[in-house]
A and B are shown apart, each in its own frame.
Chain A
């Protein structure tokens, strides 16, 4: 049962830290979904939040395999380090990974690629995600979203109902009482489930530390070729179209969130160890999405609008 292989016995009375309380809540949510849905799936991006989700799933279901597959919506513009990590982690766990590809959606004519220097596949992911959910007949999808991330998310339920168009209706959510989750849906509808709703970014890092979880190397300070746009520092890669006045330079950065390379900004940081990162996060004065996500800067309600359309 234990990670080292041999069962160990803990005799001291366990102390229940806030991390253990949040962990227990997450495990409870996962088991409820496994029991009440026919075809759940866990959305795994290779980012820190979904890395924690995988650990919660191990805690909920081992020594058995997970009662659901994992799925990654691959924009084709992911950091290579993250894709490498994703495949390695899935192999270590011995679980099944489905890759839903935005490139396939483009090739099939389901979506039209944006063009120009500001082109991003971020919005296109929603179509790929909803298509994959429909194709596989998934009725519940675990996500690593947290309520502290963004103000529309602060209002979202742990079991977040989606209609047969994949839409979220924030004004018409089911009340969620005690720890009793209503998992009833009609055919074609599904539920997004957020076992880490009550976690903060700092909780995630402290948990990564406590559980000694590996995260992709881009979360730690490294040298990278970057360019500056809209007060953010973006990774340059071959093929990136620059605007007039923009130039490529080398900088020491790390990432606070893992998303599409085209819309995820890096943070100037020298935090090269987990300890450094926890220290940096505990004193930061800027939210992770504010600091790193161009997609949320579009308007006051950018996330709300994307969520209504079926986004993560």
Chain B
């Protein structure tokens, strides 16, 4: 099965041409509408003089962004080719950088990391790559941009590839292979190797960016390889006409794997076992369903299943417990402190969590895990031990992005303050 919808994220430093690249993808794939182009042309001329067309302006959405010439927040863009639909999460490179990058990366199948061919692999490129791999984006494209400014030099490209590859070895962790990386030399400004093959780099035989994005495998391509995880969101119990009186359906979205009618299932954290009596959808019953479909399950036995419980295959269950360790990206000014309480939302389950310890803090420059203090500051990423008010059924994030992730919410402000990725159990 192939999914014809691909989500990718773009990240880059200030001025390395990220907005131009997105503008180029939209423009060359003919996804820019005339009235949008008119807006861009007017704004370009106001800023750059007559006749200029700044494709970067296509992606600046808010008034403050246009006024200040910066990108404030993650913006979502849409385009399509005959092969696939694409959703771009465009992450700003500077302000609130880690928080935005983590947000955009959380749903992406591919990360496009931009590198300015003149400047080479900067600290910031490394951080982008690191966060992409921490968020388990399976594929990475290293877009070596502005090749026009280094005379389309193969030697310069190779130098950057070697440099980046040396660093990328460090991205693989224990039990977690590093991302699959594709290097593409391009000039977003001139249009080389973005949609159209460059005639100025005959030495490059790999794919163009769009071609690659059309072909790369996405997360749900092999549902059978992952164990089934079905968090119950909502119990459907119609009151009313007699024919639906006994109906009791467990509604949710299959987070991973596949489920079949008649198969034995385990309900966690309770531990009850039963079989799937039916897989219902509005369009009829299914024999088999796979992620990421939304379904309603009916079970053979009357178990007391409610929102927040997880239905899975009994042979490969997730861990169940009230203690867990996770890499937490902290997203607010008020630091995370040992002993603090937060609300935790994990799959469809809400609980309260207490911070037991901060074990270490990741240095996103060196990728070393350093000595932790007693708090995590804004944009820090650290290994945190949490104890929860009720048991959670979870997988390591490296094995399952859906059942391995959670958010932390501040109880008084209600703001989302942290993003957690559950670590493998030791």
Q: Which residues does A use to contact B, with CB under 8 Å?
A: 1-3, 7-11, 13-18, 20-25, 27-28, 31-32, 34-35, 58-65, 147-148, 151-152, 154-155, 170-171, 173-180, 182, 184-186, 197-198, 200, 202-203, 284-287, 290-291, 300-301, 304
CA distance A121 to B210 in the complex (A): 44
The reply to whether B406 and A180 contact each other, CB–CB distance below 8 Å, is yes
In-complex Cβ contact of B416 among A13, A65, A174, A287 (8 A) = A174
A-B contact pairs, 15 of them (CB 8 A): A1-B280, A17-B4, A18-B84, A22-B5, A28-B252, A58-B282, A59-B281, A155-B61, A170-B62, A170-B73, A177-B407, A180-B346, A287-B35, A300-B39, A301-B66
Q: Which residues of A contact B415 (CB under 8 A)?
A: 174, 182
- List of A residues within 8 angstroms of B60 by Cβ: 151
In the complex the two chains form, is A21's CB within 8 Å of B5's CB?
yes
Top 3 A-B pairs ranked by shortest CB distance?
A290-B35, A151-B61, A64-B238
Q: Count chain B residues whose beta carbon lies closer than 8 angstroms to a beta carbon of A.
A: 76
Residues of B within 8 A of A202 (CB): 80
A14–B1 Cα gap in the complex (Å)? 9
Contact B282 A32 (CB under 8 A): no
User: Which residues of chain A are near B36, meaning CB under 8 Å?
Assistant: 287, 290
Q: Cβ of A65 and Cβ of B238 under 8 Å apart?
A: yes
- CB < 8 Å neighbour of A8 from B100, B285, B288, B416: B285
Interface centre among A27, A32, A147 (most CB of B within 10 A): A27
Given pairs A59-B294, A182-B345, 11 additional interface contacts (CB within 8 A): A10-B283, A20-B293, A23-B294, A179-B253, A180-B345, A184-B414, A200-B85, A202-B80, A286-B33, A300-B66, A301-B63
Of B80, B244, B285, the residue contacting A63 (CB under 8 A) is B244
Binding site of B, secondary structure by majority: helix, strand, loop or mixed? Answer: mixed
Q: How far is the CA of A15 from the CA of B240 in the complex (A)?
A: 34
Complex formed: what's the CA distance from A23 to B293 in Å?
Answer: 9
Inter-chain CA distance A202–B240, complex, in Å, is 38
A177-B407, A286-B33 in contact; A65/B251 too (CB < 8 A)? Answer: no
Q: In the complex, what distance in Å separates the CA atom of A152 from the CA atom of B77?
A: 12
For B240, list chain A residues within 8 Å (CB).
64-65
Contact: B233 with A18, CB < 8 Å? no
B residues with CB within 8 A of A: 1, 3-5, 33-36, 39, 43, 60-64, 66, 72-78, 80, 84-85, 87, 99-100, 102-103, 106-107, 220, 233-234, 236-240, 244, 247, 251-253, 280-290, 292-294, 307, 331, 343, 345-346, 348, 401-402, 405-407, 409, 414-416, 419
Bound-state Cα–Cα, A9 to B280, Å? 10
Given contacts A15-B1, A154-B75, contact A27 B234 (CB under 8 A): no
Partner of A177, one of B102, B290, B343: B102
Taking a contact as CB atoms under 8 Å apart, the answer to whether B414 and A185 are in contact is yes
B62 and A152 contacting across the interface, CB-CB below 8 Å = yes
Contacts of A180 in B (CB 8 A): 345-346, 405-407
* Known A65-B238, A147-B76, A177-B405; contact A8-B284, beta-carbon cutoff 8 A: yes
> Do B64 and A35 have beta carbons less than 8 Å apart?
no
Cα A152 to Cα B84 in complex, Å, equals 25
**Number of inter-chain CB pairs below 8 Å:** 203
Most buried by B among A8, A155, A178: A178
By a CB distance below 8 angstroms, the chain B residues around A65 are 238, 240
Whether B62 contacts A155 by the Cβ 8 Å rule is: yes
Neighbouring A residues of B346 by C-beta, 8 Å: 180
Least CB separation from B282: chain A residue: A59
Closest B-chain residue to A199, C-beta based? B78
Residue of A nearest to B3 (CB): A16
Are A155 and B244 in contact, with the CB atoms below 8 A?
no
A178 contacts which chain B residues (CB < 8 A)?
Answer: 106-107, 401-402, 405, 407
Complex contacts, A284 vs chain B, CB 8 Å: 33
A10 and B285 form a contact (CB under 8 A):
yes
Which of B66, B78, B87, B294 has the most chain A CB atoms inside 10 A of its CB?
B294
Give the docked Cα–Cα distance between A148 and B43 (Å).
Answer: 20
Are A177 and B416 within 8 A (Cβ)? yes
Query: Which residue of chain B has the shortest Cβ distance to A151 in the bound complex?
Result: B61
The residues of B that contact A18 with a CB separation of less than 8 Å are 3-5, 84-85
Q: Would you give the shortest CB distance from B36 to chain A, in whole angstroms?
A: 6
Knowing A175-B103, A180-B407, the reply to whether A31 touches B252 (Cβ < 8 A) is: yes
The residues of B that contact A174 with a CB separation of less than 8 Å are: 415-416
Q: What's the nearest-Cβ distance from chain B to residue A175, in Å?
A: 5
A285 to B251, CA, bound (A): 40
CB contact under 8 A between A171 and B253, given known A177-B103, A178-B401: no
Q: Which residue of chain B is the closest to A211 with respect to CB atoms?
A: B283
**Chain B positions within 8 Å of A32 at CB level:** 233, 348
Q: Chain A residue with minimal CB distance to B38?
A: A290
Known: A21-B5, A182-B416, A184-B409. A176 touches B103 (CB 8 A): yes
Contact residues in B for A182 (Cβ distance below 8 Å): 345, 407, 409, 414-416
- CA separation between A34 and B294, bound complex, in Å? 15
Q: Which among A13, A31, A184 is the interface contact of B233 at CB below 8 angstroms? A: A31
B72 partner residues in chain A, CB cutoff 8 A? 155, 170-171
Neighbouring B residues of A15 by C-beta, 8 Å: 1
Q: How far is the CA of A154 from the CA of B415 in the complex (A)?
A: 21
Contact check, A148 vs B78: say whether CB atoms are below 8 A apart. Answer: yes
Q: Which residue on B lies nearest to A176, using beta carbons?
A: B103
Distance in angstroms from A65 CB to nearest chain B CB is 7
For the complex, give the distance between the alpha carbons of A286 and B307 in Å. 44
**Contact yes or no, B236 A64, CB < 8 A:** yes
CB contacts (< 8 Å) of B290 on chain A: these are 13-14, 16
With A2-B283, A151-B61, A300-B66 as known contacts, state yes or no: A13 contacts B288, CB within 8 Å.
Answer: yes
The reply to whether B73 and A173 form a contact with Cβ atoms under 8 Å apart is: yes
Shortest Cβ distance from residue B138 to the other chain A in the assembled complex, whole angstroms: 15
Bound: A210/B73 CA distance, A: 34
CA distance A152 to B65 in the complex (A): 11
Task: Evaluate contact between B78 and A3: CB separation under 8 angstroms.
Answer: no
Is A154's CB under 8 angstroms from B61's CB?
yes
Known: A64-B236, A285-B33, A291-B35. A35 touches B253 (CB 8 A): no
Contact partner of A31 (CB less than 8 A), chosen from B106, B251, B406, is B251
Would A21 and B292 be within 8 Å (CB), given that A1-B284, A64-B237, A197-B76 are in contact? yes
In the bound complex, CA of A184 to CA of B4 (Å): 34
Say whether B247 contacts A63, CB under 8 Å.
Answer: yes
Closest chain B CB from A296 CB (angstroms): 10
Query: By CB atoms of chain B within 10 A, which of A31, A61, A180, A290 has the most?
Result: A180
